[in-house]
Structure 1
Amino acid sequence: MGLLHAVPALIAVMAVGTAYRVVRRAMELRAAWRSGLTAEARCLRAYRTHGENGSTRHHVYGFTTAEGLQVRFEERNGPATVVEGDYVTVHYTAARPGKATAIPPRGARTAASTVAALAFLGAVVAFCAVFVSLVPA
């Protein structure tokens, strides 16, 4: 396989991996929102990281489950208005409280953004497949 085939194949593999993470996160959010379990959490740390695609907000939260378990989790791209020391309501599942979220329920919006991301990633994979099939080996 030549370089003209390897690069699009690598891009397609990365797009599929990203699609998997998008779907997994959407399912985690949906499970947390549907569980009905909430707790008051405190924002222990709020910070930004800067990369090639701009900056990303990070929040670290701590809360206690109904069973008394102390949980700390980090969430990316949470509410911009939350700062260190703030109290927020988090949604979590009993089976995986570490996958909690401070993002308020927004089912239709999350579904729409997930579908849009998957459509884009599908187009990337399709473009790579067509490119590889059209370029001679």
Structure 2
Amino acid sequence: MAVLIYVVPSLVIALVLFGMAWMIRAARRTHQAWNGLTAQARCLRTYTTTSGGGGDSSVTTTLHHVFEFATHDGRTVRFKEDDASSTVLEGDVVTVYYAPDRPEEATAEPPSVGKLVARTGCGLLFLSPFIAACIVAMVQLSSHVGD
């Protein structure tokens, strides 16, 4: 029983820290793309996916775009972006931003550092209480183990 007091909250903390690291890494990739090079890309395809929708749960629809562009060194790159602008349709030409060493991580999202910081910060703030709750739970439960 005492092992569970530490193992389960530790696993939750590890999972939350992994999620936080993933969010920070994604924000860094986007920021590096914005500070890299630009190219004109054609939207090859748009499609939607849905999730949820069973019984009382809500349905979430995600819009996906597939873009293709030529890098400055002539390489053709194709990438998929989730939740891109709904005004971009198949055949449209848009500006994409990419880091020269990682063009496959390009983005068609226009630069907006404030929005990126706010989105990442809100995600980190949302996840932080889970870590605090796990630590409080471990302290509270471990103090009652000897009782």
| Structure of larger gyration radius | 2
In the alignment, the residues of structure 2 paired with residue 10 and residue 121 of structure 1 have an alpha-carbon distance, to the nearest angstrom, of 14
Name the structure 1 match of 2:49.
Answer: 49
RMSD across aligned positions (CA): 1.8
Classify the secondary structure of the residue corresponding to 1:59. Answer: strand
Shift of residue 5, structure 1, vs aligned partner: 5.0
In the alignment, the residues of structure 2 paired with residue 25 and residue 42 of structure 1 have an alpha-carbon distance, to the nearest angstrom, of 23
Q: Tell me whether 1:31 sits opposite 2:37 in the alignment.
A: no
Identity of aligned residues (%): 39
Shift of residue 83, structure 1, vs aligned partner: 2.1
Could you tell me which runs of 5 or more consecutive residues in structure 2 were left unpaired when the two chains were aligned: 53-58
After TM superposition, the structure 1 stretch with the greater mean CA deviation from structure 2, 9-18 or 107-116, is 9-18
Which residue identity lines up with residue 15 of structure 2 in the other structure?
A: M
Residues 84-113 of structure 1: CA deviation (Å, up to 9, x unaligned): 222111001111101100000000111111
Could you tell me which runs of 5 or more consecutive residues in structure 1 were left unpaired when the two chains were aligned: none
Name the structure 2 match of 1:117.
Answer: 123
Classify the secondary structure of the residue corresponding to 1:79. Answer: coil
More strand by share: 2
**TM-score, with structure 1 as normaliser:** 0.87
Shift of residue 120, structure 1, vs aligned partner: 1.3
Q: Tell me whether 1:83 sits opposite 2:89 in the alignment.
A: yes
Which residue identity lines up with residue 34 of structure 1 in the other structure?
A: N
How many residues get paired? 135
